[in-house]
Amino acid sequence: MATDDIKKIIEREAKWQKRWRDARAFVPKNDGSKPKYYNLIEFPFPSGSGLHVGHMLPYTGMDVMARYKRMRGFDVLFPIGYDSMGISSEKYATKIGKHPRDSVAELINIFEKDISVMGLSFDPESKIATSDPEYIKWTQWMFIQFFKAGLAYKSELPMNWCPNCRTNLTNEELEDGCCERCHGPVEKKMKLQWNLAITKYADRLIDDLALVDYPEKVKTMQINWIGRSYGADVDFRVGDDVMTVYTTRVDTIFGVTFCVVAPEHKLVKKWLDEGKIKNADAAREYIAAAKAKSEIERTDATKDKTGVKLDGVMAKNPFNNKDVPIFISDYVLADYGFGAIMAVPAHDSRDWDFAKKFGLEIIPVLAGGEPDKVYEGDGTHINSSFLDGMDKETAIAAAIKYGTEHGFARGTKKYKLKDWGFSRQMYWGEPIPMVYCEKCGWQPINESELPLLQPHMDDYKPTDTGESPLARATDWIKTTCPCCGAPAKRETDTMPQWAGSSWYFMRYLDSKNDKEFCSRSQLDKWMPVDHYNGGMEHTTRHLLYSRFWYKALSDLGYVPGVEPYKKRTSNGLIMGPDGQKMSKSRGNVVPSSDVVARAGADACRMAILYLAPWEQNNMKFNTAISGMMEFINAFPGGKMPRRAYEILIQMLNPFAPHLTEEMWEKLGHTDMLVFEPWPTFDASKLVATTTIFAVTVNGKRVGEFTANVDAGNDDLVAMAKNTATRQLTGAEIIKTIVVPKKLVNFVVKK
């Protein structure tokens, strides 16, 4: 396309973008005069050089929905903001050698321009940024409420430490066992850290999925990540110590021939310290090697099992008082269950491989297997004392009852989900508003002191010691206890990027409120979000965290309902030039401003929505565009009546808003098309009065005819015979089959 033509297109699009802004065309009325529709996209984090083509697909698709809903008479809230606090912004600032506060402000300006030139109909008056002091204030305020309610606590737990990013990561922030940001390996470390008690909501996070319109794939991913299971805790005695294991198959307890504990298990350290383990050097060497492995490496079922038998200690099976050996092995993780398992090698392939390698006893306790083969099916219990002859469910109930009565087992429920590790050792995060007093312990700061902002630091890079950079701000750390007034120290860890993104959709509703995070009247009016679109990669991260956050606020009486999002969809992915998902962290992005500059926003919008279908939802933009093409082709020579032309422009408007506004104006309309209603239609005109029937003879198509849809079978058969005269001549009709509104088939014999 010629340079002059592109220039004219860009100028035309800028003209309409200004007119929309001046008319406040995308600011919701918010007066209750129309039904509400809250249309939400996942807000971007400002890093890199601005929006890229990967953003264009979801943003343009949801913009079409917003424009369409406005034309259908809804009061639409379609907001935009910036996830500007956290590791993404900090790492980008470090990369370009600027302070995060400066780089974030510059990037937001770039993003604003990119959004404008794409013609996106965001409400400019509800805009937010998670790094704004007023926003930080309410994020910290919510943390304090969670602490007061017992949902925020500090304890020593194993964490995923990224030595490259030098911060803690949750399981949800890992990709194939590596850091999602730098893609490097992580290490397991024990560290005192703040946690949010998301596991208290595990059941509700599963059960309440029945209340929302999410794709089944998304629901399944959340359910599997939470990993609810029912089983029993069983106490194995090891001398004077109690080693508790969790099992979903307590009915196989009589087949236990050894136990395996994680190398990090606290009892292993205790036994080593007490000198009970005779092969201590071998055990310590194995523990050190396991520490260097990622979780993916440790749990890879295809790899050869390794381990060390702990000589000097034995576990007693409480159901039959038999002593069984104890091994340490890296395939058992300290943070799953109790970090210890009972091994039943006859009926578990992993235990079978381990037993074969170490020459351990194998006792079948379920009938149905073959000799010298692992059997992982179900069957009648054998070699199981009082459980013999029982089926699975009966035996599980009987074993739990027996163990409970004798005090060494109890039925329980477990989850793979862990409490949300909330501490980060980064500078550009919300400071955790807590202080430590030797007398009063951990206490929240007075709410009147919010927001608590981090001090300006020229050197804000993470430390090598595992402490936050704020640990170097000695003057800032020193404070007084809000309870007793004694000297105290501030918490130096900061919140994760997920903190601000867990509630941003509520701040949009009341972004200028300085008295509360959002007024109850606005929450009651707009929540829940009617349609939320975002990436599948956030299904077990942001989506899970924000649902928990909302439920916690609901329990505390601050928000209505129990679910924040009524409907969730996910779009397909735009791949980068390297064939990988387009992502700033991968460095393979194509800036949206580049493609818009080459063809204009409308052409880019149409192209991306036509070429990139959305995954399995009623948003079939490519089908809609094809339908409009068919509409044009239905008129000979491309000529159509004015009213038909106007209807076409109205339907095309959500997809190509600038061009259609220009066409609408040239037709003599004084009001902008953005304020026009969606065209109405006469449903009776869509009811077909005739249809085409196929005629087949012995299943082979020989012709067709047109008839009224309500024609009787006798008339249809007569018309079909007339159509197939040649094929039926000299043939005996054995059977006639009429398929309503489709075909007439004759079964004949020559």
> How many CB atoms within 10 Å of residue 156?
9
| 703 and 645 within one domain | no
- Under the banding of pLDDT at 50, 70 and 90, the label for residue 5 is confident
pTM, to two decimals: 0.85
451: cis peptide before it, omega within 30°? yes
Per-residue pLDDT at 586 = 64
Mean pLDDT of the chain: 92
> What integer pLDDT is reported at residue 398 of this predicted model?
98
663 is in which domain, residue-wise?
620-677
pLDDT number for residue 83:
95
CA distance 169 to 120: 34
Give CA–CA dist 170/180, Å, rounded.
11
Question: 740 and 635 share a domain?
Answer: no
Residues 6+ apart with CB under 8 A from 638: 632
Mean pLDDT value across residues 455-462:
91
* Tally of domains within the chain: 3
Beta pairing partners, 424: 494
Beta bridge partners of 532: 40, 568
Among 163-172, 209-218, 403-412, 477-486, the minimum mean pLDDT is found in: 163-172
Residue recorded with tokens 């900061």: 494
- Number of CB atoms found within 10 A of residue 8's CB: 12
- Mean local confidence (pLDDT), 723-736: 93
Q: Are residues 348 and 371 in the same domain?
A: yes
**Lowest pLDDT segment from 348-357, 489-498, 545-554, 579-588:** 579-588
280 and 399 in a single domain? The answer is yes
Instruction: Determine, yes or no, domain membership for 393.
Output: yes
Helix (H) or strand (E) holding 400: helix 392-405
Q: Rounded to whole angstroms, what are the CA distances from 365 to 162, 351, 394, 406, 673? A: 44, 14, 15, 22, 75
Q: In terms of domains, do 692 and 672 share one?
A: no
The H or E element containing residue 229 is strand 229-238
User: In terms of domains, do 711 and 649 share one?
Assistant: no
Looking at the chain, the number of H-run helices and the number of E-run strands are 24, 27
Hey, how many other C-beta atoms are within 10 angstroms of the C-beta on 39? 25
The one-letter amino acid code at 478 reads K
C-alpha to C-alpha distance for 678 and 681, rounded to whole angstroms:
10
Does residue 716 form part of some domain?
yes
pLDDT digits (tens, 9 = 90+) for 510-548: 999 999 999 999 999 999 999 999 988 788 889 999 999
Asked if residue 404 has pLDDT above 80, the reply is: yes
User: pLDDT value at position 355?
Assistant: 96
| Number of residues assigned to the chain | 750
**Closest C-alpha among 430, 259, 457 to residue 354:** 259
pLDDT at 578: 63
Helix (H, G, I), strand (E, B) or coil at 505: helix
Are 661 and 704 found together in one domain?
no
How far is residue 487's CA from residue 438's CA, in Å, rounded to a whole number? 9
Q: In this structure, is residue 94 part of a structural domain?
A: no
Q: Which residue has the tokens 């039943």?
A: 344
Q: Identify whether residues 268 and 328 lie together within a single domain.
A: yes
The yes-or-no verdict on residue 4 having pLDDT over 70 is yes
726 and 630 belong to one structural domain: no
What per-residue confidence (pLDDT) applies to 579? 63
Flag whether 524 is in a domain.
Answer: no
Round to whole Å and give the CA distance between 196 and 152: 5
DSSP H or E run through 8: helix 3-22
**SS3 at position 77:** strand
Q: Which helix (H) or strand (E) holds 102?
A: helix 100-117
pLDDT digits 0-9 by tens, 158-167: 778 888 787 8
């909501």: which residue's tokens? 201
Looking at the DSSP assignment, which residues form a beta bridge with residue 696? 701, 745
Going by their DSSP bridges, the two strands 174-175 and 178-179 should be labelled as antiparallel
**pLDDT(175) > 80:** no
| 585: confidence class by pLDDT, cuts 50, 70, 90 | low
Task: Give the least confident one: 42-51, 474-483, 735-744.
Answer: 42-51
User: How far from chain centre, in Å, is Cα 84?
Assistant: 19
Percent of the chain with pLDDT strictly greater than 70: 96
Q: Does residue 378 form part of some domain? A: yes
User: Which has the minimum average pLDDT: 233-237, 307-311, 686-690?
Assistant: 686-690
Rounded to whole angstroms, the Cα distance separating 675 from 386 reads 77
- Please check the confidence at residue 205 and state whether its pLDDT lies above 70: yes
Same domain, 745 and 627: no
Among the three residues 657, 677, 697, which one is the final residue of a domain in this structure? Answer: 677
Q: Which of 414, 444, 469 is the last residue of a domain?
A: 414
* Residue 429: Cβ-neighbour burial (10 angstroms; 0-12, 13-18, 19+): buried
Q: Is residue 291 part of a domain?
A: yes
CATH code of the domain covering residue 721: 3.10.20.590
Q: Give the whole-angstrom CA distance, residue 385 versus residue 368.
A: 18
**pLDDT, tens digit (0-9, with 9 covering 90-100), for 251-310:** 999 999 999 999 999 999 999 999 999 999 999 999 999 887 767 677 777 778 899 999
Residue 216 has pLDDT above 60, yes or no: yes
In a domain, 692, yes or no: yes
Lowest mean per-residue pLDDT among 88-97, 171-180, 649-658, 705-714: 171-180
pLDDT at 260: 97
132 dihedral zone (left: phi>0; alpha: psi -120 to 50; beta) = beta
Span 562-585, mean pLDDT? 76
Task: Tokens for 146, please give them.
Answer: 């969670």
Note whether 628 and 718 are same-domain residues.
no
599 located within any domain: no
Give 248's contacts (C-beta < 8 A, 6+ positions apart): 229, 230, 231
Q: What is the CATH number of the domain that holds 324?
A: 3.90.740.10
Residue 629's alpha-carbon distances to 370, 516, 623, 632, 638, in angstroms, are 64, 50, 10, 5, 11
660 and 721 in a single domain? The answer is no
Q: Is residue 75 within 8 Å of residue 34, measured between CB atoms?
A: yes
Is the pLDDT score of 616 beyond 60? no
So what's the pLDDT on residue 422?
Answer: 95
The distance of Cα 295 from the centroid of its chain, to the nearest Å, equals 21
**pLDDT the model gives residue 619:** 78
The answer to whether 445 and 405 are in contact (CB under 8 A) is no
Above 60 in pLDDT, residue 72?
A: yes
Mapping DSSP to helix (H, G, I), strand (E, B) and coil, where does residue 397 land? helix
Q: Which residue reads 């010298």 in tokens?
A: 372
Residue 608 has pLDDT above 80, yes or no: yes
User: Of 414, 430, 457, which marks where a domain is finished?
Assistant: 414
